[in-house]
Amino acid sequence: MGKAPCCDKTKVKKGPWSPEEDAKLKSYIDKHGTGGNWIALPQKIGLKRCGKSCRLRWLNYLRPNIKHGGFSEEEDNIICSLYINIGSRWSIIAAQLPGRTDNDIKNYWNTRLKKKLLGKQRKEQQAQNRKAAASLKQEIKRSSTTTNFHLPPDDFVNQVNPYWAPELPVVLPVMSYQTHDAQVLDDHQASIKNMLIKLGGRFSDTTNSMYSPIDHISSTSSHQFYQNSGIDHMLACSPAANSNYAQLGPSPSPSPTMFHGVDHQSDLEAELSELIFGNSQPHQQYDGLAGFYQMETLNNGSTGVTTSTSAESEISWGDISSLVYSTTTPLVSEYENSCQQGVRPSDSAFAESTYFGMK
């Protein structure tokens, strides 16, 4: 027993709207408004369309002051920033960009912006890899002068350790480590630290004793990582992330109340959550993070080993965040503040108030 459809699907027209239909709808709404009932509206004006379809057409195309295409750099940054902070809440993101619709922004993100970021990430990653390969070679050279060690040919270095291969798209390479080499892990932690600084902007010196989340993805089972880092608590609290979490292997079945239970949350966990989320609203902020964590790690099941199999999986958090946080977006903190003060404002209320300039 499903819910009854809003209209008789066999009697409504589907597909692209004709100019006549547009004109009918527009002139009616201009004169009378929607009347607060989209379902009844098409019947009133003699349109063989579903009410939902009318609503969509109005909101996305017929409404006054709608902009299409031609996104500016500033708009790109706002979209990225908000996506990272609040996830795919397109209506809220759209509310920050006057004249833009959620559908437009969603399409723009999926078809262009994501790829744009990917391209940037790849470039930087390749540059980093080249640098790393060069310093490795130098290091080996130095070692070989003091021992009988022979420097392998370039090809060999690249083959046996694809991580160093400059042309391979590698994302967050630290996540691929399967080694316990102390120096490597130090570098590794430094990378994580840098990434977290980018994300959170602060990083206390307790890092020496701090579990690096990424360390734990690679050196322990991934769900242990989530438990140790406290992120599992956040995951447990995040409806959007729960399905992802379920893929992590043996379910630790965290209680949804765990995150809020300060008694169970170590200072370490609190610090990490603050570092990542910047405030105490994991629900709000994790959505975006969850999306990227899914891309980065969850696809790989419980091993936590990063592979670059899809375009999505190649987007690095550090790079996206660095791109985004390079420009300040007061809008994000505005939304965060709203969340902090009023626990969480109604999304639509927030969207509407900002869209209509009622702040």
Partner DNA sequence: AAAGTCGTCAACCGCTCTATC
Partner DNA sequence: GGATAGAGCGGTTGACGACTT
Please work out the total of residues on this chain that contact DNA, with binding judged by CB under 7 A.
48
When binding is defined by CB under 7 A, the residue of 43, 243, 346, 356 that contacts DNA is 346
When binding is defined by CB under 7 A, the residue of 27, 32, 40, 256 that contacts DNA is 40
Q: How far is the CB of 346 from DNA (least distance, A)?
A: 5
Decide whether 37 or 308 has the Cβ nearer to DNA.
37
Contacts of 342 (CB under 8 A, 6+ apart): none
48 binds DNA (CB under 7 A): no
312 binds DNA (CB under 7 A): no
Q: What's the one-letter identity of residue 20?
A: E
- Which H or E run contains 37? none
Structural contact between residues 50 and 62, judged by C-beta atoms closer than 8 angstroms: no
39 binds DNA (CB under 7 A): yes
When binding is defined by CB under 7 A, the residue of 44, 63, 68, 141 that contacts DNA is 68
Q: What's the one-letter identity of residue 85?
A: N
Q: Which stretch binds DNA (CB under 7 A): 90-98, 168-176, 241-249, 268-276?
A: 90-98
What is the radius of gyration, based on Cα positions, of the chain? 25
19 binds DNA (CB under 7 A): no
Structural contact between residues 345 and 338, judged by C-beta atoms closer than 8 angstroms: yes
Q: Which stretch binds DNA (CB under 7 A): 4-12, 161-169, 212-220, 271-279?
A: 4-12
242 binds DNA (CB under 7 A): no
9 binds DNA (CB under 7 A): yes
Q: How far is the CB of 273 from DNA (least distance, A)?
A: 22
> Would you call 110 exposed, middle or buried from its count of C-beta atoms within 10 A (0-12, 13-18, 19+)?
exposed
Decide whether 12 or 197 has the Cβ nearer to DNA.
12
32 binds DNA (CB under 7 A): no
| Distance of alpha carbon 284 from the chain centroid | 12
Could you say which residues in the range 284-303 bind DNA, by CB under 7 A? none
3-state DSSP helix/strand/coil percent for the chain, to nearest 5? 65, 0, 35
Q: At what angle do helices 330-341 and 282-296 cross, to 10 degrees?
A: 130
Q: Which stretch binds DNA (CB under 7 A): 111-119, 126-134, 202-210, 327-335?
A: 111-119
Q: Which two tokens stand for residue 136?
A: 């490795």
Q: How far is the CB of 157 from DNA (least distance, A)?
A: 31
Whole-number Å distance between alpha carbons of 207 and 187: 13
60 binds DNA (CB under 7 A): yes
Q: How far is the CB of 60 from DNA (least distance, A)?
A: 6
Q: How far is the CB of 43 from DNA (least distance, A)?
A: 11
6 binds DNA (CB under 7 A): yes
Q: Which stretch binds DNA (CB under 7 A): 104-112, 206-214, 230-238, 247-255?
A: 104-112
By three-state DSSP, how is residue 177 classified?
Answer: coil
51 binds DNA (CB under 7 A): yes
Q: Is 249 left (phi over 0), alpha (psi -120 to 50) or beta?
A: left
253 CB neighbour count, 10 Å cutoff: 7
Decide whether 102 or 232 has the Cβ nearer to DNA.
102
By three-state DSSP, how is residue 105 classified?
Answer: helix
Contacts of 55 (CB under 8 A, 6+ apart): 34, 38
By three-state DSSP, how is residue 116 classified?
Answer: helix
What does the binding site for DNA look like in residue numbers (CB under 7 A)?
2-4, 6, 9, 13-17, 34, 36-40, 49-53, 55-57, 60-61, 68-69, 88-92, 102-104, 106-108, 110-112, 115, 239, 346-348, 351
